[in-house]
Amino acid sequence: MTDMGGDRVEEAVASCATLLRAAAGRDWEGTRAGRLEWSCRRTAEHVASDLIAYAGQLAGRAETAYVPFEITLDEGTGPAGVVQVIETTGALLAAAVRTTPREVRAFHPYPFRSANREGFAAMGVAEVLLHTHDIAEGFGLPYEPPTGLCTWVLARIFPHVRPEPDAPWRTLLWATGRGDLPGREAVTGWRWNNNLVIGTERLTLQGVTPAAAADLRAGGTGGFEWIEGGPFHGTRDAAGSVVNAYAKGVHRPEWGMFVLVRREDGLAVGAIGFHGVPDDEGRAEVGYDLAENARGRGYATEALRALAEAALARDDVKLLFAAIEQENAPSQRVIARAGFTRAGEEVERVAHELHGLEPSLRLYSREA
């Protein structure tokens, strides 16, 4: 995962510019952009505004709100000038993405109040592709962006959407209320979904997108810089579960996987997360592991406490539990220090007999 999005922004802008130049002789002011209330010109201006706004968020390291500025085109700017502005603002976003450090996050409201450089790149690409579609629809022109761009966007900011493997563009249009997919209800309201980050004193727990999970499963880094010896094999196994859940359309980011990143040096030391969404009784299973070189320093305990407190503060969670090997004394110490207690023998017996829990595993739980 060497490209965090700069190349993708440039590719999306190039596809947009090609379409807009083909419509240079049309009535941009008097033509409505597809299903939007805006004219085609207003929509094109909006694209440029979003691109420069995202670049500004990253460059200005905005933490609590949007940087208070906006872009205004000179009076009388024609279609050619509008395209030039989109290309320019796209270049600025690509540059900001490429030069922003990996650990920087800036304000964006949806849904967890921040995004990293890859998230801003994906949002910028989505704005370009979707609004180019709107303009093309208004002018009655065909438009279909590169397939790889659509797949890239979906796997980064639409983790809750089941992708159609052979139709990523149609999936993206459906997910944003612009088209239909067989067997799926029409979308009337939507938001994209940047990854969740939970902070602790020494760590940040960074939500893993389906794209990062796929890279981890395949033997890559997932876009993180790892401590020597990482990631541990349990992290790669958990990443595979994220990929499978995404393919089935049941992945929910806040109930997925998080990579543990040290604040002091930005190195990833392990992973933690859930085995799925809470059941009907509000129970969810947690799991964690660390790279061998990061063990014995309290990272797992610190991360588990933070994750448990965040989950148990929700109304839909009543109990968290973990299944730990009977012989794994270090993990048992971690779970105990994080406020979990050993389940009773009867509970374990039921889990073994009725739910297929392996006989070597012991249950620990923490209630709200």
294, two tokens: 């990061």
CA 360 to the chain's CA centroid: 35
Cα 325 to Cα 190: distance, rounded to the nearest angstrom: 42
Mean pLDDT of 251-256: 96
Confidence of residue 111 (pLDDT cuts 50, 70, 90): very high
Cα 155 to Cα 251: distance, rounded to the nearest angstrom: 11
Lowest mean pLDDT among 60-64, 94-98, 225-229, 356-360: 356-360
Query: Does residue 366 register a pLDDT over 90?
Result: yes
> Which residues of the chain are in CATH 3.40.630.30 domains?
197-367
> Which residues of the chain are in CATH 1.20.120.450 domains?
6-175
Q: Are 251 and 159 contacting, i.e. CB atoms less than 8 angstroms apart?
A: yes
Q: Give the number of other Cβ atoms within 10 Å of residue 92's Cβ.
A: 18
Domain topology for 6-175:
Four Helix Bundle (Hemerythrin (Met), subunit A) (1.20.120)
Domain topology for 197-367:
Aminopeptidase (3.40.630)
For residue range 148-194, list pLDDT tens digits in order: 999 999 999 999 999 998 999 999 999 999 999 999 999 999 999 99
For residue range 120-137, list pLDDT tens digits in order: 999 999 999 999 999 999
Confidence of residue 146 (pLDDT cuts 50, 70, 90): very high
Cα 299 to Cα 308: distance, rounded to the nearest angstrom: 14
From residue 286, how far is each of 11, 238, 317, 359 by CA, in Å?
39, 11, 13, 19
pLDDT of residue 349: 78
pLDDT of residue 2: 61
pLDDT of residue 354: 64
Nearest partner of 49 among 29, 32, 73, 65, judged by Cα: 73
For residue range 317-365, list pLDDT tens digits in order: 999 999 999 999 999 999 999 999 998 877 777 777 767 878 888 999 9
